[in-house]
């Protein structure tokens, strides 16, 4: 068994790490506090080709392997988890279009999405439907050569920049089971009746916007039905969410690593009772636990990415990775704050931002409570085995 990155992945990791250390870490805290949108960083990510990570090379994308994909989000989140959000749902959306889109849809959208000239997100969550996607209420009723869309979406990252935005709708609201009547429509940003209402205030995850969207009699051409066939939306969204869970797991690893790095550095520099606090056994135990947990989370995340690349689906591995890594991120952020003492509560140190960013990892792409249930069901049913 090979637990090491190959040379190409190591080179890519080094490039990402240098970029984050040079361009993101020095400005992240100040930009996060001011609420400034990270336009300059986004432009540099465009130059690196990161907006084309999940797009085939024939459309101008990088078509990264799954582990390198995880490395991008780990390294970006080590510097600033918020900046990773500008790529997260964009990459999911691009993957869906590349996997399920018609040739016309791929030709129309993927080349500009690969360069970042266009950007996108994913319109799944609604005020009354988060983890339960079959509970969505947004409808799309066929009227000639258009669908008329009515509904509301919330917590949509990149909402103000998404063009198009893939939106999960019910093309047959009366279908049984409900998922059989669900489809995804690619809605262009300038379509009349499509409106971004407001940015939602957040504890952390600053940088990218998270918005509410309303669709009031939005006319979407039949040509923008993802894949060209109704009733496939749920099956198109689920594998994308698996990739999203690897994305979230990798972000959590980045947060956990940053928290560990900050705690280790501070424990070496901070003195109490005539010696660095790193010399006290209580601090050493925390440091040891943090380091072990972050490495375990990293290996679990890379494993899930590898399984997804090899098998095409990775329900249980991606769920395990996202669940475990997010809990490690939360724990490491809290332990780093405790090691910093009063300074950990200060905005002058990075740990208070990590402490605010980490909880989202336990919520995004399916809450950890839902994922634990799904993991258990896979094990009990015998679909997946461990050992």
The catalytic residue positions are 365
* Three-state secondary structure string covering the chain: CCCCCCHHHHHHHHHHHHHHHHHHHHHHHHHHHHCCCCHHHHHHHHHCCHHHCCCCHHHCCCCCCHHHHHHHHHHHHHHHHHHHHHHHHHHHHHHHHHHHCCHHHHHHHHHHHHHCCCECCCECCECCECCCHHHCCCEEEEECCEEEEEEEEEEEECCCCECCEEEEEECCCCCCCHHHHEEEEEECCCCCCEEEEEECCCCCCCCCCEEEEEEEEEEEEHHHEHHHCCCCHHHHHHHHHHHHHHHHHHHHHHHHHHHHHHHHHHHHHCEECCEEHHHCHHHHHHHHHHHHHHHHHHHHHHHHHHHHHHHCCCHHHHHHHHHHHHHHHHHHHHHHHHHHHHHHHCCCCCHHHHHHHHHHHHCCCCCHHHHHHHHHHHHHHCCCCCC
Label residue 99 exposed, middle or buried (CB < 10 Å: 0-12, 13-18, 19+). Answer: middle
Q: How far apart are CA 303 and CA 136, in angstroms?
A: 32
Strand partners, 184: 168
């Amino acid at each position: 068994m090979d637990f090491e990155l190959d040379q190409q992945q190591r080179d890519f990791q080094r490039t990402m790490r240098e970029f984050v250390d040079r361009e993101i870490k020095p400005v992240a805290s100040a930009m996060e506090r001011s609420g400034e949108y990270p336009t300059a960083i986004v432009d540099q990510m465009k130059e690196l080709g990161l907006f084309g990570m999940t797009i085939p090379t024939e459309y101008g994308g990088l078509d990264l392997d799954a582990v390198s994909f995880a490395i991008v989000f780990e390294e970006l989140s080590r510097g600033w988890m918020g900046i990773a959000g500008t790529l997260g749902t964009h990459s999911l959306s691009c993957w869906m279009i590349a996997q399920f889109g018609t040739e016309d849809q791929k030709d129309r959208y993927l080349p500009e999405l690969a360069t970042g000239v266009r950007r996108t997100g994913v319109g799944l969550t609604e005020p009354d439907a988060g983890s339960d996607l079959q509970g969505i209420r947004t409808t799309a009723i066929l009227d000639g050569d258009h669908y008329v869309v009515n509904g509301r979406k919330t917590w949509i990252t990149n909402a103000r920049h998404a063009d198009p935005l893939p939106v999960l709708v019910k093309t047959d609201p009366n279908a049984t089971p409900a998922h059989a009547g669900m489809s995804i429509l690619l809605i262009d940003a300038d379509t009349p009746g499509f409106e971004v209402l407001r940015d939602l205030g957040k504890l952390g995850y600053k940088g990218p916007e998270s918005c509410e969207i309303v669709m009031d009699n939005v006319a979407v051409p039949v040509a923008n039905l993802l894949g060209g066939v109704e009733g496939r939306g749920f099956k198109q969204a689920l594998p994308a969410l698996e990739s999203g869970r690897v994305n979230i797991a990798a972000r959590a690893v980045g947060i956990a690593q940053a928290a560990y790095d900050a705690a280790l550095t501070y424990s070496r520099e901070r003195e109490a009772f005539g010696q660095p606090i790193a010399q006290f056994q209580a601090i050493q135990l925390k440091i040891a636990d943090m380091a072990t947990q972050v490495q375990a989370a990293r290996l679990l995340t890379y494993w899930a990415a590898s399984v997804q690349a090899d098998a095409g689906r990775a329900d249980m591995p991606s769920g395990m990775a996202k669940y475990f890594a997010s809990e490690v991120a939360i724990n490491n952020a809290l332990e780093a704050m405790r090691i910093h003492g009063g300074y950990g509560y200060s905005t002058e140190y990075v740990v208070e931002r990590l402490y605010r960013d980490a909880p989202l990892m336990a919520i995004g792409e399916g809450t950890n409570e839902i994922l634990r249930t799904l993991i258990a069901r896979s094990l009990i049913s015998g679909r997946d085995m461990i050992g």
